Structure 1
Amino acid sequence: MKQILYKLFEHQYLGRDEAREILQNIAQGRYNDAQVASLITVFLMRNISVEELTGFRDALLEMRVPVDLSQYAPIDIVGTGGDGKNTFNISTAASFVVAGAGYPVVKHGNYGATSVSGASNVMEQHGVKFTSDTDRLRRSMDACNIAYLHAPLFNSAMKAVAPVRKALGVRTFFNMLGPLVNPAIPRYQLLGVYNLPLLRLYSYTFQENDTRFAVVHSLDGYDEISLTGEFKVATSTTETIYTPESIGFDRYREQDLDGGETPEDAARIFDSVLRGVATPAQTDSVVANAAFAIRVIEPEKPLADCIALARESIQSGKALNTLKKFVELNS
């Protein structure tokens, strides 16, 4: 590792195979926490390359516990984290809205590393017990159109670095990798990123495989569609900048999306959205993300129709019923 760190400190880049081997060594415990923290720090000081990201991804997918849910052709809705905004669990709420609207979802998530509440925190607040049992995951898909994959159960490397990530408390390249290593390898993906270089990096990476995707970034720094300002959406064929007003939403303030100070606070907001009693800002941010996820699956569907489907999922109680069934089955 010493030679690798010297190379990186001299502003050199890793090749794809080299990056793959490093991740494998981390998973096998060949480096101590200080060395792993130093490696992580390098990628806080400069952008990661496509070769490095792809090599790290290769290693994680090779080492994953596989789960075959391909028969459902599901979508994953996820943000990289690391935007420093401490929003409530918008992507997770959007996942239940999309599932309630009738689209299969396989949500890949973890505990919060740079925010109060990650997807796994809010799931645990509801009493959900995580599993890697494919039969149980399929039953969840059949019963309520959604399965949840807690990342550490499916990849030893993610589990191995969890204490270091938590101790650092800042975004790491594992935030970047998480959205790329869903062990089910979903057919569709809506991914939120915290800056424009990452938006382009993920777009290039996704175009190397068969995933149909949209990468979103709010230009004021959110790793999701926040409706606090302009946002960009990139697909394999287009890059478009939207304003909240251009797609029928109001523009909101940053504090309107705050996730609170504890996982309990975030879970209360999450529940209020699905119950249809949240603030307009909280509800609309979830609806917007869910709508763009639906459009990834059905790109010919007008965006206004996708927004209507997402909103109806909440207003009809379908999203809340999906959550209730999911919790009942997975607790």
Structure 2
Amino acid sequence: MKSILSRLFNHEELSQDEAKDLLINITENKYNESQIASLLTVFQMRGIKVDELIGFRNALLTTRVPIDLAEYKPIDIVGTGGDGKNSFNISTCACFVVAGAGYHVAKHGNYGATSVSGASNVMEEHGVKFTNDQDKLRRSMDKSNMVYMHSPLFNPAMKSVAGVRKSLQVRTIFNLLGPLVNPSLPAYQLLGVADLPQMRLYTNVFQKLGIGFAVVNNLDGYDEISLTDEFKVMTNRYESIYKPSDLGFEVISQEELYGGDTPQKAAKIFDNVLQNCSTKAQKDCVLINASFAIQAMEPMKDIEECVSIARQSLESGKAFETLKKFIEVNC
């Protein structure tokens, strides 16, 4: 660790293999907390490089509980978190809209860290029982086009750094890794990030990994498309900035996306959206994120067609029927 820290202090970069070995050693408790804290601080100050992030990802994936869903070619829809906006569960809602449109979704998530209700919170509010049983997850996919994987059941290595992360109380490289360690290794991903440097980082990572993707950022700091301002989208095919009006949507206020002050209130908003009885702002925000997720899987479709597909899923009731089937299978 002394040698590694010296290299990093001198602005040297680690290779993928070096980063992988380093993180495996961390998970095997080969370093003390002071050394780990120093390492995490270095990366926060100088930023992490693409190969380093891929190496850390590979390390965590070697220790994961693997789930084989490759035949479904699923998508994960997720935000990095940490935007501090406490919006409702937009990404998770979008998952059911996409699944209702006939696509397969493998959602990986956890409890909320910077918001009242994370994906796992809203799932628990609906009585969902978390599992890492392969057969149960495949049954859920077959019945509802949707599986949910509660991160702690699949990524045991993360426990080894829980103490130092809690002590530091700041964002670290492990926050960046969350969206990259879906145990099913989905074929596609819609990833929302809170700033433009992260956008470029993840785009480069996905291009190296060969994943079909769209990385999105609202320019006022949301880690999803919020329609509160202009937003940027980066894929393998294009990089573009949109105004909401470009796609037929109205600009909405941040207050209209508030997720409530309890998980129960957040779950009520979630249900209202999928039952097509929410506010227009809540509905539109989910639709636009679902639309770019669909385009990530169907890159030859223009975004207007993808909006139409997402809208039909929600307004026809298919998205809510998908939620009901999912709950029935997973409770």
- The TM tier, using the shorter chain, reads over 0.9
SS of 2:214's partner is: strand
**Unpaired stretches in structure 2, ≥5 consecutive residues:** none
1:229 counterpart residue number: 229
Instruction: Please tell me whether the aligned partners of residues 113 and 165 of structure 1 are also in contact (alpha carbons under 8 angstroms).
Output: no
2:93 counterpart residue number: 93
Matched residue type, 2:294: I
In the alignment, the residues of structure 1 paired with residue 69 and residue 39 of structure 2 have an alpha-carbon distance, to the nearest angstrom, of: 34
In the alignment, the residues of structure 2 paired with residue 13 and residue 47 of structure 1 have an alpha-carbon distance, to the nearest angstrom, of: 10
- CA change 1:3–1:112 in 2 (3 A) is farther
- CA change 1:252–1:65 in 2 (3 A) is same
In the alignment, the residues of structure 2 paired with residue 125 and residue 162 of structure 1 have an alpha-carbon distance, to the nearest angstrom, of: 25
In the alignment, the residues of structure 2 paired with residue 246 and residue 139 of structure 1 have an alpha-carbon distance, to the nearest angstrom, of: 40
The alignment's TM-score, normalised by the length of structure 1, stands at 0.93
CA RMSD of aligned residues (A): 1.9
1:36 Cα deviation from its structure 2 partner: 3.8
SS of 2:259's partner is: coil
- CA change 1:122–1:232 in 2 (3 A) is same
| Between 253-262 and 195-204, the greater mean CA deviation after superposition | 253-262
- CA change 1:129–1:100 in 2 (3 A) is same
In the alignment, the residues of structure 2 paired with residue 138 and residue 259 of structure 1 have an alpha-carbon distance, to the nearest angstrom, of: 31
In the alignment, the residues of structure 2 paired with residue 116 and residue 176 of structure 1 have an alpha-carbon distance, to the nearest angstrom, of: 20
2:195 counterpart residue number: 195
1:262 Cα deviation from its structure 2 partner: 2.5
Counterparts of 1:28-47 in structure 2, within 5 Å, are 28-33=28-33, 35-47=35-47
2:102 counterpart residue number: 102
1:148 counterpart residue number: 148
In the alignment, the residues of structure 2 paired with residue 3 and residue 119 of structure 1 have an alpha-carbon distance, to the nearest angstrom, of: 40
- CA change 1:264–1:82 in 2 (3 A) is same
1:306 Cα deviation from its structure 2 partner: 1.2
SS of 1:207's partner is: helix
In the alignment, the residues of structure 1 paired with residue 171 and residue 59 of structure 2 have an alpha-carbon distance, to the nearest angstrom, of: 20
Cα deviation per residue 1:105-137 (whole Å; 9 max; x = unaligned)?
001111222222221121112111111111111
1:123 counterpart residue number: 123
- Whether 2:257 is the aligned partner of 1:277: answer no
Instruction: Please tell me whether the aligned partners of residues 86 and 115 of structure 1 are also in contact (alpha carbons under 8 angstroms).
Output: yes
2:305 counterpart residue number: 305
Cα deviation per residue 1:177-211 (whole Å; 9 max; x = unaligned)?
11111111111111111111111111111111231
1:160 Cα deviation from its structure 2 partner: 3.2
**Amino-acid identity (%):** 63
Instruction: Please tell me whether the aligned partners of residues 192 and 216 of structure 1 are also in contact (alpha carbons under 8 angstroms).
Output: yes
SS of 1:308's partner is: helix
- CA change 1:4–1:227 in 2 (3 A) is same
Matched residue type, 1:247: L
SS of 1:189's partner is: strand
- Whether 2:19 is the aligned partner of 1:19: answer yes
1:35 Cα deviation from its structure 2 partner: 4.5
SS of 1:130's partner is: coil
Counterparts of 1:1-331 in structure 2, within 5 Å, are 1=1, 4-5=4-5, 7-9=7-9, 11-33=11-33, 35-162=35-162, 164-165=164-165, 168-331=168-331
Instruction: Please tell me whether the aligned partners of residues 259 and 269 of structure 1 are also in contact (alpha carbons under 8 angstroms).
Output: yes
In the alignment, the residues of structure 2 paired with residue 274 and residue 163 of structure 1 have an alpha-carbon distance, to the nearest angstrom, of: 38
Matched residue type, 1:206: F
Cα deviation per residue 1:29-73 (whole Å; 9 max; x = unaligned)?
334555444433333333211121111011012221111101111
SS of 2:285's partner is: helix
1:226 Cα deviation from its structure 2 partner: 0.7
Aligned length: 331
The alignment's TM-score, normalised by the length of structure 2, stands at 0.93
**Unpaired stretches in structure 1, ≥5 consecutive residues:** none
SS of 1:190's partner is: strand
Matched residue type, 1:223: D
In the alignment, the residues of structure 2 paired with residue 324 and residue 247 of structure 1 have an alpha-carbon distance, to the nearest angstrom, of: 30
